[in-house]
Structure 1
């Protein structure tokens, strides 16, 4: 009799535990047991803004400082979160229900398995390149029990972002583009780099014939190479985000765009000479990359208008207002947009 009661108790305990958890398959194909209710998530730097868009209160850490000039353009909830990377002590202190990590290759899968075993916190791997955003937000909405928020974002992607990929693919004459980074524009990103994915997504032709390099990009090139490539358009980077732990760029008076437009050697490049040099907006984060996360979606909207002014007809201001509302949880005005784009 006692044995029967004991087995019954164990059965009901197991059923209660099972009812509080569920199994999902992440975007790396890993089966992960999650709590039924997810209140707090910790992310790495590439997933931070994606998770923040889904629920500004759910994210428990930030991964980049927001410059003072940019704090008007993102919810205070992000600015107030503690800066924390994937350090075990920091993660345990914040006590998340789930950890979200970016997924690019098998090394990331091993990292996730190791972290999950060490911390006893479920770890999900998430794809985060532009063509994967619809799939990513569908997965996040289901895994984190935020279907309404995810559906609003997916509707935005379907309305503005995904059509631009298809429309620009059909344009017969697409421009060649050089992405100018560094003090003098002599660093760049190859096609298929995380840092040039906005150019790729809009089906423009990246002229840079260089190796992709490290995760941070910034491949060095010579002015002689650029003179040979002769791009139709130059896109000038927005710089590193505040607090990014990378080699420092020396301070200077001229921006990269200003240097390109005034340097005598650069004037041998037709795009520079004809002032076809577009400055990437930088607030609250770079609109093309730095980081290569959901901030790139604003870059898709902006760059489409720069590269294909006669071929795309959507209302840029309306799209950006919706973007800032969904992803940064703030309302912006036409005046704000003019400032963001022109400064």
Structure 2
């Protein structure tokens, strides 16, 4: 749904040139913002990270704490912002108090559906006296619209359009590469330190695998939003995936020498990859805008002939455009460890 932004002149009949912004958000809600937006709070990981990509100087705080090891990969202006938490779930009262203490001009909510998003939460938001808007992203294909919407709401249209265009280019180029491929490698997403948790193919947590040709070996209906579907090693041996990806370094380190895992094709052929996660995960948890560099990374691993990018150069460009940082070689090596890269053929 295309967003709209317009102005109402308040007090025009009195000759007072005071402006209020009227916004139609992505959930088709009419929202009035009665002053210039300087500070915004996004009480979800998806919105918080997207707001950072758009305008770190406008952030009131983070929804979750940032590990010290990840702070060098963020704009200095955002590294030590307060952690304000979520306005739903456990600890919501203290989180609301913390959020209001920062006096945000706008709250950026996030929804996976444009239909009546989070009605109970809306009732709480109405009591805060702070205008709020919804960004809606049902899947990764919606992200360009989200960033254009944020560009309008935050009066940063040029920036929003730039990031939206970059995202759409990635989606289009990867689709072209996947469509050209004559063979689509089977992928197992190994979660947990034992690698025996994963996600069904319809889960929000593995949308990248859907975009890469629906290559998830675990085809099923997800049982709950949190995921972590349990599987057995016997199932994985039957799946016999060509590639395994994992966010767990403990699992990555142990799988190579495990007597049973060594029978799996991906392990046998050395195609087990650790998902990059500095400063935010490229694939999942949370499934944020970082998935766009994750999509490029995995597309190159699965389809090197059809999508022959230089992932190191693409990573530098992505971090410059979205993360507001310039990566030197040492930083790049931390993000793209050898565990995340395909072994070069001699």
Which TM-score applies when normalising by structure 2?
0.84
Please say if 1:192 is aligned against 2:202: yes
Aligned to 1:214: 224
Query: SS state of the match for residue 47, structure 1?
Result: helix
Query: SS state of the match for residue 137, structure 1?
Result: helix
Aligned to 2:5: none
Q: Aligned ranges for residues 245-256 of structure 1 at < 5 Å?
A: 255-256=250-251
Aligned to 1:285: 280
Aligned to 1:166: 176
Q: Aligned ranges for residues 94-113 of structure 1 at < 5 Å?
A: 94-105=102-113, 106=115, 108-113=117-122
Residue 200 of structure 1 and its aligned partner are, at CA, apart by 1.7
Equivalent-residue separation in structure 2 for 1:180 and 1:101 (angstroms): 31
Q: Which of 115, 123, 141 is the matching residue for 2:132?
A: 123
Please say if 1:42 is aligned against 2:51: no
Q: 1:45, 1:64 within 8 Å by CA — same for their partners in 2?
A: yes
Query: SS state of the match for residue 20, structure 1?
Result: strand
Aligned to 1:22: 21
Q: Aligned ranges for residues 132-281 of structure 1 at < 5 Å?
A: 132-238=142-248, 255-281=250-276
Residue 119 of structure 1 and its aligned partner are, at CA, apart by 0.8
Residue 107 of structure 1 and its aligned partner are, at CA, apart by 6.4
Equivalent-residue separation in structure 2 for 1:14 and 1:76 (angstroms): 45
Residue 16 of structure 1 and its aligned partner are, at CA, apart by 5.0
Aligned to 2:64: 64
Residue 332 of structure 1 and its aligned partner are, at CA, apart by 0.4
Greater shift in the superposed pair: 153-162 or 229-238: 153-162
Residue 203 of structure 1 and its aligned partner are, at CA, apart by 2.2
Equivalent-residue separation in structure 2 for 1:139 and 1:233 (angstroms): 37
Aligned to 2:341: none
Q: 2:109, 2:135 within 8 Å by CA — same for their partners in 1?
A: yes
Residue 116 of structure 1 and its aligned partner are, at CA, apart by 3.1
Going from structure 1 to structure 2, the CA distance change for 1:99 and 1:181 (only over 3 Å counts) comes to same
Please say if 1:332 is aligned against 2:327: yes
Q: 2:186, 2:242 within 8 Å by CA — same for their partners in 1?
A: yes
Residue 167 of structure 1 and its aligned partner are, at CA, apart by 2.6
Q: Which runs of 5+ in 1 are unaligned?
A: 1-9, 239-253
Equivalent-residue separation in structure 2 for 1:194 and 1:320 (angstroms): 23
Which TM-score applies when normalising by structure 1?
0.85
Cα deviations across residues 175-213 of structure 1 (Å, max 9, x unaligned)? 111100001100111123221112222224111134424
Equivalent-residue separation in structure 1 for 2:146 and 2:130 (angstroms): 21
Between Structure 1 and Structure 2, how many residues are aligned? 318
Q: 1:175, 1:204 within 8 Å by CA — same for their partners in 2?
A: no
Q: What is the root-mean-square deviation in Å for CA atoms of aligned residues?
A: 2.3
Equivalent-residue separation in structure 2 for 1:225 and 1:281 (angstroms): 26
Q: 2:240, 2:266 within 8 Å by CA — same for their partners in 1?
A: yes
Residue 134 of structure 1 and its aligned partner are, at CA, apart by 0.7
Going from structure 1 to structure 2, the CA distance change for 1:64 and 1:213 (only over 3 Å counts) comes to farther
Going from structure 1 to structure 2, the CA distance change for 1:15 and 1:135 (only over 3 Å counts) comes to farther
Q: 1:317, 1:334 within 8 Å by CA — same for their partners in 2?
A: no
Please say if 1:91 is aligned against 2:99: yes
Q: 1:177, 1:204 within 8 Å by CA — same for their partners in 2?
A: no
